[in-house]
């Protein structure tokens, strides 16, 4: 499904990632590890935000050769989302809805699901960090993506929202969508069965726990 080959990523002279090949199939994959290991960099590469050396392909669609088509197949929620503070939550969602060709009922379902409907007419500048995170998750789940890339989705959201997020991921995964999730917190594998667990060690991605709970 997703394959990365001959990846090299540097910030100035500091090399963050350097590996020959990494492939994942359909399923839910957890990339764990502490701060500064390169998780967010890897996600920003796969989501087409950050330039890199090498090739990234999703279902044989090459990111460098077909960037628009590639981006239409993935959905990315950043660890620390940043949006213009003067726009309303509703305006951001409308933009995502249009860009990702999502239906209105999906918007209504997701905003209700994450209990954000009441705040959509407020400016983003007035949101708490948890609300901002939930807004970014709503935006990420809009439309049809083959691969959802969620960078630290559990930080700043409350326990109820975490439960809801687990359930949503599990439901989407059962319908054939794939997830690549990073988290330095432990993921509750009873609530969210994982197909593989990876870790970035010395610029390489290493499988630490394959087929953990393939239920």
Least spacing, CB of residue 88 vs other proteins, in Å: 8
Which pairs from 67-71 meet CB under 8 Å and 24+ separation?
71/47
Q: Does 71 participate in binding other proteins (rule CB under 8 A)? A: yes
Which residue in this structure is represented by tokens 């088509």?
69
Which residue in this structure is represented by tokens 């989407």?
172
Q: Does 6 participate in binding other proteins (rule CB under 8 A)? A: no
Q: Does 81 participate in binding other proteins (rule CB under 8 A)? A: yes
Contact 140, 76 (CB under 8 A): yes
Which residue in this structure is represented by tokens 């213009």?
84
Report 35-54 residues binding other proteins (CB under 8 A): 44, 47-51
Task: Please classify residue 185 by burial: count the beta carbons closer than 10 Å to its beta carbon, then call 0-12 exposed, 13-18 middle and 19+ buried.
Answer: exposed
Query: Could you give the CA distance from residue 185 to residue 165 in angstroms, rounded to a whole number?
Result: 15
Give the dihedral of Cα atoms 156, 161, 80, 110; nearest 10 deg: -160
Of 72 and 117, the one with the shorter C-beta distance to other proteins is 72
Of 18 and 208, the one with the shorter C-beta distance to other proteins is 18
b vs e for 76-109, b when ≥16 Cβ sit within 10 Å of the residue's Cβ? bbbbebebeeeebbbbbbbebbeebebeeebbee
Rule CB under 8 A: choose which of 25, 36, 84, 130 binds other proteins.
84
Q: Does 69 participate in binding other proteins (rule CB under 8 A)? A: yes
With CB under 8 A as the contact rule, which of the stretches 27-35, 82-90, 190-198, 202-210 interacts with other proteins?
A: 82-90
Q: Does 97 participate in binding other proteins (rule CB under 8 A)? A: no
Site size toward other proteins, by CB under 8 A: 32
**Measured in whole angstroms, how far is the alpha carbon of residue 112 from the centre of its chain?**
21
Q: Does 72 participate in binding other proteins (rule CB under 8 A)? A: yes
Of 123 and 203, the one with the shorter C-beta distance to other proteins is 123
Least spacing, CB of residue 190 vs other proteins, in Å: 31
- What are the residues binding other proteins (CB under 8 A)? 11, 44, 47-51, 64, 67-69, 71-72, 74, 76, 78, 81-88, 91, 95-96, 98-100, 123, 136
């Amino acid at each position: 499904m997703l394959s990365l080959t001959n990846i090299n990523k540097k910030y100035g002279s500091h090399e963050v990632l350097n590996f020959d090949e990494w492939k994942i199939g359909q399923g839910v994959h957890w990339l764990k590890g502490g701060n500064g290991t390169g998780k967010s960099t890897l996600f920003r590469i796969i989501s087409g935000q950050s330039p890199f050396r090498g090739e990234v392909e999703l279902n044989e669609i090459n990111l460098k050769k077909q960037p628009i088509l590639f981006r239409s197949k993935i959905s990315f929620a950043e660890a620390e989302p940043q949006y213009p503070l003067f726009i309303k939550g509703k305006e951001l969602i409308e933009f995502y809805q249009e860009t990702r060709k999502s239906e209105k009922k999906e918007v209504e379902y997701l905003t209700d699901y994450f209990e954000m409907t009441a705040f959509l007419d407020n400016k983003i500048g007035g949101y708490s960090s948890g609300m901002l995170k939930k807004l970014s998750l709503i935006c990420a789940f809009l439309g049809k993506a083959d691969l959802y890339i969620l960078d630290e989705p559990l930080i700043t959201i409350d326990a109820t929202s975490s439960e809801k997020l687990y359930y949503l991921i599990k439901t989407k995964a059962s319908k054939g969508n794939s997830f690549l999730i990073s988290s330095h917190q432990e993921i509750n594998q009873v609530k969210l069965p994982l197909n593989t667990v990876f870790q970035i060690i010395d610029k390489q991605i290493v499988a630490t726990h394959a087929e953990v709970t393939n239920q």
